[in-house]
Structures are given as structure tokens and as C-alpha cells.
């Protein structure tokens, strides 16, 4: 009788352990996930968050700085056009947007709120965020963004608009801001349908 109980207990523990391991595997981030980058952010409303907290649905991500007068406003407007095209194509809301500053020394919550207001973008669909902690350059490199400060305080930088899948893997990218990139719109539309 004791052997049966011991055997039954061992079988139950084995089943429970297997279920716990399966659950852990289901929640583990893929090695290529951008969400593995430890980056604590604060959005234009002052709310703290991490990219990983947004896991579970596609996300459009790019990098900006609030005092930019050229490339960053073009990036915001390009993403607005992308989202509008996706919504027209699918009849559903486009994925939310996170724009991460690479100038946290100057991009205060207030500066980001002013930028959001100027471009008529609002949370929760749009989050303009400043890094509070973590490696901004590593995050930028993961997205393919390069930047450097100029002597006048501005930045020289490239533009990358990135679609992340639900697990934070890069699903598509575009650098096109002058005209709509139909391939990128198609990728975002497909990702949003999953």
C-alpha cells in the first residue's frame, strides 16, 4: 500500500514538474527578442514601463529625440501614415507605437509630452519614452539605429522603423519616411492579424 502511494505521489510530482517546465518554456523569451534588453522607460505621461511589459502583441518601435527638427518629425509622420494604411487595409487598430529617446539627458517627460502634443499622437496607441536605466546604445544597435552627438548638441542619426512580433523579435524594418513602404505596411497588417 505504501509503495502504491509513493508511486502515485512520484507520478503526480513528475506531472506537476512537467507542467511547470512547459509553462516556463511557453513564457521564456526567444534569444533574439528585443525585450531581453534591460531598459527601464518612462513615457510622456510619466508612467514607468519596460518593453517586455508590452509583450503579447505586435509593436512598432523607433528612436527619436524631442528637439530634433528634421528626421524625427518625419519619422513620427511616417509611422502615422503606416498606421493609417494598416487600419484602412485591415479594418482594425494598428499596433501601438513606442518611440524611445536616445537623448534622455534632455528628453524629459515634459519634452516628450510636448512632442506628442505637437504631432497629435496620444497614449495608449503612442508612447514616447525616455530611458531611465539600461543600455540605450545596445537597444539602438539591436534596432539598427546609429547616432552620435554633434558639437552643436544635435544628433546625427539614421532612421529605422521596426515591427516587433508578440515576443519582441524583429519581424520587419523600414527606413522609408518620404513615401509609404508597401512591403512594411503588408508585414504590419499580417502581424496584426495573428
Q: Are residues 13 and 55 in the same domain?
A: no
Residue 17 clears pLDDT 50, i.e. is over it: no
Note whether 37 and 51 are within 8 A (CB): yes
Q: Are residues 37 and 19 in the same domain?
A: no
Q: Are residues 10 and 102 in the same domain?
A: no
> Tens of pLDDT along 78-103?
999 999 999 999 999 999 999 999 99
Q: Which structural domain range is residue 21 located in?
A: 1-30
Q: Are residues 20 and 37 in the same domain?
A: no
Q: Are residues 13 and 107 in the same domain?
A: no
Find the CATH number of the domain harbouring 125.
3.40.30.10
The pLDDT confidence band at residue 27, using thresholds 50, 70 and 90, is confident
The pTM assigned to this predicted structure is 0.84
The total domain count for the chain is: 2
Gap between the Cα atoms of 96 and 5, Å rounded: 53
> What interhelical angle do 182-193 and 71-90 show, nearest 10?
50
Q: Are residues 54 and 5 in the same domain?
A: no
Q: Are residues 61 and 87 in the same domain?
A: yes
Q: Are residues 76 and 128 in the same domain?
A: yes
Which of 5-14, 68-77, 94-103, 160-169 is predicted with the least confidence, judged by mean pLDDT? 5-14
% the chain with pLDDT above 70: 85
Residue 19's SS3 state is: helix
- Rg of the chain over CA atoms, in angstroms? 21
Q: Are residues 38 and 7 in the same domain?
A: no
Residue (of 58, 135, 50, 52) closest to 93 by Cα position: 58
Unique residue bearing C-alpha cell 513602404:
181
Gap between the Cα atoms of 49 and 62, Å rounded: 16
The pLDDT confidence band at residue 1, using thresholds 50, 70 and 90, is low
CB atoms within 10 A of CB 8: 10
How does the average pLDDT of the chain come out, rounded? 87
Residues whose CB is less than 8 angstroms from the CB of residue 188 and which lie 6 or more positions away in sequence, other chains included:
58, 60, 82, 86, 94, 95, 163, 172
Instruction: Write down the pLDDT at residue 149.
Output: 92
Note whether 65 and 72 are within 8 A (CB): yes
Residue (of 1, 15, 62) closest to 34 by Cα position: 62
Q: Are residues 8 and 55 in the same domain?
A: no
The pLDDT confidence band at residue 38, using thresholds 50, 70 and 90, is confident
Amino acid at each position: 500500500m505504501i509503495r502504491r502511494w509513493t508511486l502515485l505521489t512520484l507520478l503526480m510530482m513528475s506531472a506537476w514538474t512537467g507542467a511547470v517546465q512547459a509553462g516556463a518554456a511557453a513564457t521564456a523569451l526567444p534569444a533574439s527578442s528585443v525585450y531581453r534588453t534591460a531598459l527601464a522607460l518612462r513615457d510622456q505621461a510619466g508612467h514607468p514601463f519596460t518593453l517586455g511589459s508590452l509583450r503579447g502583441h505586435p509593436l512598432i518601435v523607433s528612436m527619436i529625440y524631442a528637439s530634433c527638427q528634421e528626421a524625427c518629425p518625419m519619422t513620427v509622420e511616417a509611422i502615422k501614415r503606416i498606421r493609417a494604411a494598416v487600419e484602412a487595409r485591415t479594418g482594425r487598430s494598428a499596433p501601438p507605437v513606442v518611440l524611445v529617446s536616445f537623448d534622455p539627458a534632455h528628453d524629459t517627460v515634459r519634452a516628450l509630452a510636448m512632442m506628442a502634443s505637437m504631432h497629435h499622437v496620444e497614449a495608449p496607441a503612442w508612447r514616447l519614452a525616455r530611458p531611465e536605466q539600461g543600455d540605450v546604445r545596445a537597444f539602438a544597435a539591436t534596432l539598427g539605429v546609429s547616432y552620435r552627438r554633434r558639437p552643436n548638441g544635435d544628433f546625427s542619426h539614421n532612421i529605422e522603423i521596426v515591427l516587433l512580433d508578440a515576443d519582441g523579435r524583429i519581424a520587419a524594418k523600414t527606413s522609408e519616411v518620404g513615401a509609404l513602404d508597401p512591403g512594411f505596411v503588408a508585414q504590419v497588417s499580417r502581424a496584426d492579424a495573428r
